[in-house]
Amino acid sequence: MSKTHTITLIQGDGIGPEVTGATRKIIDATGVKINWEICEAGAQVFKKGLSTGVPQETVDSITRNKIALKGPLETPVGHGEKSANVTLRKMFETYGNIRPIREFPGVATPFSGRDVDLVIVRENVEDLYAGIEHMQTPNVAQCLKLISRSGCEKIIRLAFEFARSEGRKMVHCATKANIMKATEGLMKRTFEEVAKEYTDIQAQHIIVDNCAHQLVKMPELFDVIVTTNMNGDILSDLGSALIGGLGFAPGANVGDHFSIFEAVHGSAPKYAGQNKINPTAVLLSGVMMLRHIGEFEAAETIEQALVVTLGIDKVYTRDVMGDAGSVSTTTFTDKIIANFGRKHPEWQERAYQPINMPQLTNSQKSISVKTRSVNGIDLFIEAHNDLDGMGRKLTNLAGSANLKLKMISNRGVQVYPNDHGTEPDLTDCFRCRFVSKDGADVNDSDIMKLVSLVNPDYRWMHIEKLNVFDGVAGYSKAHGED
């Protein structure tokens, strides 16, 4: 007797119930025994007034079952509550988002015949997705991009381990380290160090904008791409378009203890309830889930039946061929089930092995430094006019706090002293860089004194210390700063 698996099923918003319904029907038709625990999250939960969008019963169900299949959840755009998707990924520390992009026979795209077969491994819990945002002034908004050394170490090791598990030969790391040298640079530097341990796999860094360009120009170049959260979000939607669109792009959120399987796409509200959308992306997420729980035969049955449906029977949903000649979501679903047992002669299954999930050593989790000092501070203040007057005033105040004003920048470019004679547009949020007068370590009492001196004249928002670790400056210069 085969085992019964208990799995949390979140049907999702918009097209969610249709795509998860189709997936459940197809998986159940294989005979695999699954006890689906149906749980809520997303729009319906927000409407009931729960601001996390994830009720405790859903949290408890995933905690018990360790595995969930999830439909897309709607997130209010530009206002309102935080994303319930991101909340779930973070709550269960599913730090890796694995997103395969593989060409399907019979799905015609400008890239057909190029053997597109790549996987994006997206860091899933850090970066701008932490959503730590503040209005600095009535006119200037800020989002903190926090990237940890251990977060980079884990996702990069996961990418290499994943490549090994599928017999893949090349890992690219896509970052914007040329511009964000501390944050995206940390990902690049960690990649270069970790890559030395995986001598069986080729490793190459690529700047993320060029990665987008090369993905469109030569997608067959890529095998595995590991990248930060925001980059990965954008690249994976682009990647889905190489193989026919978001209807074909599955995904798995994985961590040490929990896995949540979901498509790349969202709730596509304009198609909700119309029985038109393509369930393939969630179905293939379900196939990834079946392999994860060891149900390899059922996974292969579904994958082959899907490829036969697309590649031999030429049965498609609206996204592939428009309204004329396409079938409904339910007909497509039934057709896949009817094709159980058939195989596509050209579809090779990959050699799937369980991923050896990385376990970090203490020194990989947290690095320590031998020396550290503080060179100064950046004090962010709100100001409106008379830049020269502000510069003179802050220079005088700094002297009384054992500091000196080095420069003032606005939107990252030095505007005082105006050494270059340029006239950038100014917002009301200024970064004032104060450094030690005599090169000594800047202490907290000097900082507090400076803030108390500045405060009567200017509103201040926040302070950043200019840290130096093991002799290396841990902060960036302003544009135009020497």
**Which positions are catalytic?**
129, 176, 209, 233
179: which 2 tokens?
């511009």
Q: According to the binding rule CB under 6 A, does residue 267 interact with ligand NAP? A: yes
Binding mask 395-434 for ligand NAP (x = CB under 6 A): ----------------------------------------
* Residue 172 sits in the site that holds ligand NAP (CB under 6 A): no
Q: Is 73 in the site for ligand NAP (CB under 6 A)?
A: yes
Taking CB under 6 A as the criterion, the residue among 85, 137, 259, 409 binding ligand NAP is 85
Distance CA 134, CA 118 (A): 37
Distance of CA 412 to CAs 121, 246, 398, 416, Å? 31, 37, 21, 12
CB of 86 to ligand NAP, least distance (A): 9
Q: Is-contact 382 448, C-beta < 8 A?
A: no
Residue nearest ligand NAP (C-beta atom):
266
Pattern 306-335, binding to ligand NAP, x per CB under 6 A?
A: -------------x----------------
Beta strands in 141-196 (DSSP E): 141-146, 170-175
Candidate segments 111-119, 151-159, 201-209, 259-267, binder of ligand NAP by CB under 6 A: 259-267
* DSSP H/E element including 391: helix 387-400
- For residues 201 and 168, the answer to whether their CB atoms sit within 8 Å is yes
CB of 274 to ligand NAP, least distance (A): 11
Residue 306 CA: distances (Å) to CA of 256, 344, 345: 30, 9, 13
Distance CA 167, CA 357 (A): 16
By CB under 6 A, is residue 278 in contact with ligand NAP? yes
Least distance CB 477 / ligand NAP (angstroms): 36
CA-CA distance, 401 to 448, in Å (whole number)? 9
Q: Are the CB atoms for 11 and 21 separated by under 8 Å?
A: yes
Q: Which residue has the tokens 């802050």?
A: 394
Q: What is the nearest approach in angstroms of ligand NAP to the Cβ of residue 246?
A: 4
Q: Minimal distance in Å, beta carbon 121 to ligand NAP? A: 16
Of the pair 86, 215, the CB lying nearest ligand NAP is at 86
Which of 129/430 has CB closer to ligand NAP?
129
The span from the CA of 393 to the CA of 391, in Å, is: 6
Give residues in contact with ligand NAP (CB under 6 A).
Answer: 15, 19, 72-75, 85, 245-247, 262, 265-269, 277-278, 281, 319
